[in-house]
Amino acid sequence: MARQQAISTDLPGRQKASFRFLLGSNTVEGFADALTRTLLPILAVTALGLGSEFLGVLNAAGLAAFLLLGVPAGAVIDRLKDRRRVMTAATCLRILVTATLAISTFTGWLSGPLLLGAAVTVGIADVVFTTALSTVIPRVTPAGTLKHAYSQLAVATQTASTAAAAGTAALLGILGMGAALAAAAASYGMSAMLQLGIRLGAAPAPAKGGTAKIRRDLGSGFRTLRATPALWALTVSGALTNAGAMLGNTVLPVFILRDLDIAPPLFAGLGALAAAGAIGGAAAAPFLTAAWGLRNLRTGAAAASALCVSGAALCPWLPGPELAWLAVQSLGWSFLVSVSGVAGAEVLPRSVAPGKLASVAAAQRTITLGVMPAAALLGGAAAGLAGTLPLLGVWIVLAGAAAVPVIRSRELAEYR
């Protein structure tokens, strides 16, 4: 399929102003998302006394929404004229959820079913918001600057998420749980206000057809994805990377805290290094892509990430302190995965017609995110049987294998 640049018809000045509003909204939304997702498990454990079984269900709720509703949401959004209003509706739904949780915390009405319903609703809103967002970004971005726009959005979101995670303890200590939830609701409200400044101009022609046509077209996003070699290569590569990342998130804490007997505060410090690496990777991605080309960059990032994981897995036998190798892994892996995530983000809007953008984006996320809960469940069970080191070896293989579909795609060589 020929590449098509989805360019807004707005004047450049208005386009830049709209992008600034979008950047501000996405930053505040990222802060509120991270705060909400951090508070939900704390509520379950500290306020309700629920255990790991409930937490497993709670954590799976958001990803389940992407798996079950991502493709239908894309098909519906492709048929809507004003996708900015879809984003705002999803944000308002999250305002309602967090405000309800805040009120229930103050009044003592909080319960397990209410908490689970909130997690499911936030997950649904996340699906709708991100799917609509994927169609809005190209329309508020000047021609030729897509990769820099995705970089700025990723840096802002990562920074806001890091600030929210770091500030949760302070918010709880100073304001309390109910007030912290109210702060999340207020942040979502600010995001909704900023979205009012986004002006999209003339909309692309939406897909046509009613409910029956939507049902017939649910697979069109997957068909288009599979028929676009560059997109398909990035999707398979991303799925392999995400499967490895989720496997690592499941196994690495046990390896570090139990097998290596690293103190919990030091483990938390590794998380801070990982956040810094993710921010740096998002910022560097467009410049590295321009210098090396997308295919070379994604291939090199996959190979280097496998080396980073190898350093962590072999740290008991490598010279020097174990913690130093773990620090290199945390910083390096997060940097490289962030580079890979931002590098190539522009391929989707440049390869797919605007009228199909939401459907194809939803299909892509269904594949790349769908492997994550399966990897977590299988990895946890396998680690219980075989131990952590063999599973770290599987992570190394998955990280390196992410380079294979990229190397095989000649189309990706066109992108810089």
Tokens standing for residue 294: 């997308």
Contacts of 366 (CB under 8 A, 6+ apart): 66, 67, 70, 71
User: Residue 43 in 3-state DSSP?
Assistant: helix
Q: Tell me if 402 sits within 8 A of 237, measured CB to CB.
A: yes
**Residues 183-228 pLDDT 10s:** 899 999 999 999 998 887 655 555 555 555 555 556 788 888 999 9
Q: Tell me if 24 sits within 8 A of 192, measured CB to CB.
A: no
Q: How far apart are CA 195 and CA 393, in angstroms?
A: 45
Backbone angles phi, psi at 309, to 5 degrees: -65, -35
Question: What's CA 333's distance to the chain center, in Å?
Answer: 16
Backbone angles phi, psi at 319, to 5 degrees: -70, 150
How is residue 44 annotated by DSSP? I
Q: Tell me if 362 sits within 8 A of 214, measured CB to CB.
A: no
**Residues 361-374 pLDDT 10s:** 888 888 898 787 77
Question: What's CA 171's distance to the chain center, in Å?
Answer: 24
pTM for the whole structure: 0.79
**Residues 255-300 pLDDT 10s:** 887 888 887 667 767 777 888 888 899 999 999 998 999 999 999 9
In terms of C-beta density within 10 A (0-12 exposed, 13-18 middle, 19 or more buried), how is residue 169 classed? exposed
Crossing angle of helices 229-254 and 322-342, rounded to 10°: 160
The yes-or-no verdict on residue 242 having pLDDT over 80 is: yes
Q: Tell me if 341 sits within 8 A of 154, measured CB to CB.
A: yes
